[in-house]
Structure 1
Amino acid sequence: MTTSKIFANWDATHSELWSHQPIRLEHTMHRQPAFSMDDLARLIESYPREHYSLVKTGLKGSSRVWREGEIGKLSGREVIEAISRGGLWLNLRNVTSIDRRYRDMVDRMFAEVAAKVPGFEAPTHQAGILISSPDAQVYYHADLPGQGLIQIAGRKRVYVYPNTPPFIRPEHLEDIALFDVEVDIPYHAWYDQHAQVIDLEPGQMLNWPLNAPHRVENLGVVNVSMTVSYVNDDIRRAQILHLANGMLRHRFGYTPKSRNIRGPAFFAKQVMQKLLRDGKWVKRERSVRRPIDFRLDETDLGKIVDLPKAA
């Protein structure tokens, strides 16, 4: 792997805007051999089952569809070919813990950001690789960690919305923390009038403010992207707060009033969520998981085979 700079044209405006506004940056990661189709195919073939998600979504303009499946016995190249025929995306989660090449790239990327943005740090970070169909989409959602989207191949359109009400409310963040589901927050078509719409090409990266809702549409070609997420002390404290306030709201029927991430009230919430987060009630609230209900067809690439429903 080369050790050239990750960011090709970083300037002072990017340092000022990082994490405050959506910004599009130029990067060089798409040139790395680790992102060749041969290497991605081999990665798919060896990827641990518990660390990937294969998702089928509805077409643009259709009602929301979200099904999860498995790749079956297809080769990596066959999986990519099946995805190219529509309606699917594969998320290789936490690839930075599976393959050192991607960990090194992301480490270097965040080191460059830290050198450019005063006060920025990302002591905890990870990344995943998304391979998605020409017509695939990611529904409106928000994330608790800091986020970035790195385009490797193909073109996509990203809609980034303000991280303020009505687009995202404190109770939405609480629900994400408590129920561990990001895509169930409300969305209305008129929200698009207030979104920043940014097209990404290979060699471009998008960063946006913390908790900003967003959705993504592919633009007619197979896409390969890398998602990065990061946590620092303030983000970690905010995650603790959202979980604790969600517990207060759903478990005890109390509407939280404080959203401070320091001080006595925060300390009390920190202790409470630590005591309750591994308990039966939280596990029950998180127990509803989408079943694995299809696999890729081995004889007709691009088709899926429904799996029998569990008894």
Structure 2
Amino acid sequence: MTIVDTAAIFAESARRAFAAAYPDRPAKLDHGLVGHSLLTLDALAALAERMPAGSVEYNLGKLPLGVRPEDTPTNGLTLGETIRTIETNGSWAVLKNVERDPAYDALLDAALAELEPVVTARTGPMLHREAFIFLSSPGSVTPFHMDPEHNILLQIIGTKTMTVFPARDEELVPAQKSEDFHGGGHRNLEWQDGFQTRGKAFPLAPGEAVHVPVKAPHFVENGPAVSVSLSVTWRSDRSVAEGELHSFNALLRKRGLPIGAVSERPERQGMRRLVYRIMRKLGA
């Protein structure tokens, strides 16, 4: 049985900041995971080497803010080489679904348990809990993209700046892009220089974190040293409902039928979700 430190990961002030922002606004938080034994470079290299190949993604880190998935260059190294020489190889790596390892699963549960009362009251039970670990060389850039989960990014080693943009802004994420995304399309978004002023920059040092709402576009710029970050994520009735409604609109669009608006409270659009589920069950 895995033992996790019983000290609070999020202090009372961080839990208050989270409660004031969740689920629709980004927020800066503090955390207590700096120096945790599971989050050192040696521990993460060992974790990466025992993970399935499909659970790891890595490539060169100095990328433009807008890059097509097929144009993302590789770094020419193995995964082990990438992590062990991350300080000098100019790369970026992500270890996906580390909760499949019992020790990291226990760490994820400990972090989310402290936030669960707020989440359950606002958006329903925490669903599909997952954790991701990001390792970045100095100066790396994670391009402009969005994610389907509620997310808190905790900075462990080094510094970075995450710039977060409003969710549900169709100039940033056109409706058809959301539909494609929920149908399996890539997370990267088209970048325009005029978008910059719409974002809010969150500089992150070790011990700091940021809450990122579902599908809030963002990009990440690493500081002058190696960066390690832990992302703890979950789905909710709201995020599941939004995905269903965009998928429903995609079906309607393909058939030349009028699409419907996805509201700020998609979990309340029960009739449209029911119709979508029936169509999906019938193979439509």
Count of residues in correspondence between the two structures: 271
The answer as to whether partners of 1:57 and 1:66 remain within 8 angstroms in 2 is: no
- Answer with 258-267 or 130-139: which moved more: 258-267
In the alignment, is the contact (CA less than 8 A) between 1:150 and 1:205 conserved in 2? yes
The corresponding residue for 2:177 is 172
Identity %: 27
Question: How is 1:1-311 mapped onto 2 (pairs within 5 angstroms)?
Answer: 1-8=4-11, 9-10=13-14, 12-59=16-63, 65-68=71-74, 71-72=77-78, 76=80, 78-97=81-100, 99-116=101-118, 119-120=121-122, 121-163=125-167, 164-183=169-188, 185-249=189-253, 251-259=254-262, 261=267, 262-276=269-283
Q: Give me the whole-angstrom Cα distance separating, in 2, the residues matched to 1:27 and 1:254.
A: 48
Deviations 1:217-268 (A, max 9, x none): 101211111122211122112112222222332x324341243553333211
- Encode CA deviations 1:89-140: one digit per residue, 9 max, x unaligned: 111110111x112211111111111235561431321011111111211111
Q: CA deviation at 1:25?
A: 0.8
Give the drift of 1:162: 1.2
Question: Which amino acid in the other structure matches residue 102 of structure 2?
Answer: R
Task: Tell whether the 8 Å contact from 1:89 to 1:131 is kept in structure 2 after alignment.
Answer: yes
Structure 1 segments, 4+ long, off by >6 Å, are 61-64
TM-score after normalising by structure 1: 0.78
Measured at CA, do residues 127 and 275 of structure 1 come closer, stay the same or move farther in structure 2, by a change above 3 Å? farther
The question of whether the paired residues in 1 share the 8 Å contact of 2:82 and 2:89 is answered with: no
Query: In the TM superposition, what is the alpha-carbon distance from 1:195 to its structure 2 partner?
Result: 0.8
Offset, 1:274: 4.5
Return the index of the structure with the highest Cα Rg. 1
8 Å CA contact 1:60, 1:135 repeated in 2: no
Counterpart CA distance in 2 for 1:275 and 1:23 is 42
Asked if structure 2 preserves the Cα contact closer than 8 Å seen for 1:86 and 1:136, the reply is no
The amino acid that maps onto 2:85 is: A
Task: Please list every run of 5 or more consecutive structure 2 residues that lacks an aligned counterpart in the other structure.
Answer: none
Amino acid at match of 2:92: W
The answer to whether the Cα contact below 8 Å between 1:149 and 1:206 also exists between their aligned partners in 2 is: yes
Residue type matched to 1:66 in 2?
T
Give the TM-score normalised by the residue count of structure 2. Answer: 0.85
Give distance in 2, aligned partners of 1:216 and 1:268. 38
**Partner amino acid, structure 1, of 2:172:** F
Deviates more, 1:222-231 or 1:113-122: 113-122
Pair 218,165 (structure 1): closer, same or farther in 2 beyond 3 Å: same
Q: What do you get for the CA RMSD once the two structures are aligned? A: 2.5
CA contact (8 A) 1:29 1:105 kept: no
